[in-house]
Amino acid sequence: MILSLTAAVVRGEIKEDVLFPLRINMIVVEILDAARRSAKEGKTIFLKK
């Protein structure tokens, strides 16, 4: 999702708004949290779409 949003901004398909970096950071935090949980629990953590 992050790459598709970033690519759309670069191509000029969508405008970057003030909250765009915040949304990306929130997704990154979700991914990092899932990675931490996965390492701790020893199982795959699935992210919500």
pLDDT for residue 27: 86
CA angle, 26 then 48 then 39, to 5°? 75
**What tens digit of pLDDT does each residue of 1-49 get?**
667 777 887 888 877 676 677 778 888 899 999 999 999 999 999 998 7
**Residues 22, 38, 29: CA angle, nearest 5 degrees:** 5
47, 34 contact by CB (below 8 A) = yes
What is the domain partition of the chain in residue ranges? 2-41
- In whole angstroms, what is the distance from residue 10 CA to residue 8 CA? 5
pLDDT in the model for residue 39: 97
* pLDDT score at 33: 96
Question: Alpha-carbon Rg of the chain, whole angstroms?
Answer: 14
